[in-house]
Amino acid sequence: MKKPVNIYMDYAAATPVDAGVLSKMLPYFSDNFYNPSASYLSAKSVAEDVRSAREKIAKTLAIKPTEIVFTAGGTEANNLSIKGVMSRYPGKKLLISSIEHDSVFAVAANYDHQTIAVKGDGRINTDDLLQKIDDNTVLISIILASNEIGVIQPIAKIAKLLQAVKSDRLKRGNSLPLYLHTDASQAPLYLDLNCNRLGIDLLTLNGGKIYGPKQSGLLVVRTGIEITPLIDGGGQERGLRSGTENVPAIIGLSEALYKAQRKHKQTSKDISELRDYFIRELTKLIPDIEINGSLKHRLANNISIVLPGKDNERLMMELDELGVKCAVGSACSASSDEPSKVLKAIGLSDSQAQSSLRFSLGNTSDKQQIDYVVSGLKTILAKSYI
């Protein structure tokens, strides 16, 4: 029997755990299962492995090991960052971009906050940012690379702008901090994450998007920033995240992040060639196709498109029946969810948002797969009732 087609193009949603990453994790489930806080030598050896995993990450990100707080995934890291800072400064203000992940949008709703507009290409409108910062703004959260439209923000530049705002504040005797947080969950495979170059104060990472395990993640908290923990208990992670360390996840995250950053330039080059080929082929097939977000400042693996007038959920299901897995940019309001905030923020109408599909490429993607998907779409779009 012919093997069924299985083309995965939803790497922004989840990545399979890399074989090398998995083999590094496996010993910590049953053989080296000890609680790193225990005092016998076997446990100390596990604690030592956690320490070196932490050091490896610190080196990769150009930070100190003490600036890492391991979390269960990216959502928790975003929560810890925003709640952790905001609860230290009651009544102060938060700014977030209008294209954040839900784990930022939802948390922000608890605080006095404003959203920063983006331009049509999805990039932050810096005039709007500067205009919305006032003397009570304590935290700004801007996603480094969008999970939905792949747009990359000039975080380092924004950090420089904030330096100027801070020194102006200080001159006027206002010592309120102005922290910059970025959710970099989608970035490690393709972008340089040297935190000094980025100039950030807080940074979220998620192992589940970089061929590491799900529910692994971390928050970078630069030295000198005080945050309140979400979870209290035995005082692990310097009191910022209690609970016995998830050792396999930490080991897996460390390895996955190391691998991602070591070759991010090459990966980005290879995958963006495929992405551009995909977009060219799609444009040939559907002349009125629209690409969501900047083509220039874009993650190498993201293809977010509008197929005008088409029901994206149906297209996704039709493709699934052909063995192709992709994501609806945002499901139709008739079905499950409201139209995506992100797509609306870049100026799409509800109906355009409900005609959006997202393909995100990864390490199994190749030209052959892209050709299959494009010809599949051609067949699907030829059906009169779609």
Partner 1 sequence: MQKRQKVFVGLSGGVDSSVTAALLLEQGYDVTGVYMKNWSKDLPGMDCPWKQDYQDAKRVAVQLGIPFKMYDFEKQYRSKVVDYMLEEYRAGRTPNPDIMCNQEIKFKLFFETAIADGADLVATGHYAKTRNIHNSSNRNGQLLKAKDDNKDQTYFLYRIREEVLSRTLFPLGEYTKPQVRKLAEKFKLVTASKKESMGICFVGKVGIKDFLLHELGPQQTGEVIDENGKVVGQHDGAIFYTIGQRHGLDVGGGLPYYVTGKDMQKNQVFVTTDLNDSSLWKADIRVQDVHLINGQPKSSDIEVRTRHRAPLVKGRISFQKEDNKASVKLDKDIRALTPGQSVVFYHGSTVVGGGIIY
Active-site amino acid positions: 332
Region near partner 1 per CB under 8 A, out of 122-130, 156-164, 197-205, 310-318: 310-318
Stretch that binds partner 1, among 220-228, 237-245, 263-271, 315-323 (CB under 8 A): 315-323
Rule CB under 8 A: which of 355-384 touch partner 1? 383
CB 311, min distance to partner 1, A: 8
With CB under 8 A as the contact rule, the residue among 58, 257, 318, 362 that binds partner 1 is 318
* Long-range pairs, 351-354, Cβ under 8 A, ≥24: 351/309, 352/290, 352/306, 352/308, 353/329, 354/311, 354/312, 354/330
Residue 281 binding partner 1, by CB under 8 A: no
Rounded Cα gap, residues 61 and 77, in angstroms: 16
Of 164 and 317, the one with the shorter C-beta distance to partner 1 is 317
Question: Rounded to whole angstroms, how far apart are CA atoms 264 and 258?
Answer: 10
Nearer to partner 1, 5 or 317 (CB): 317
CB of 313 to partner 1, least distance (A): 7
Close Cβ partners of 93 (under 8 Å, ≥ 6 residues apart): 111, 112, 113, 114, 134, 136, 137, 138
With CB under 8 A as the rule, give the number of residues binding partner 1: 10
- CB–CB of 295/280 below 8 Å? no
| Minimum CB distance to partner 1 smaller for 172 or for 383 | 383
Q: Does 314 bind partner 1 (CB under 8 A)?
A: yes
Q: Which is nearer to partner 1, 40 or 385 (CB)?
A: 385
Cβ partners under 8 Å of residue 203, min gap 6: 61, 144, 181, 182, 183, 184, 193, 195, 219, 220
* CB within 8 Å of 348: residues ≥ 6 apart: 292, 306, 339, 356
Q: Is 385 in the site for partner 1 (CB under 8 A)?
A: yes
Q: Which residues bind partner 1 (CB under 8 A)?
A: 313-314, 317-318, 321, 334-336, 383, 385
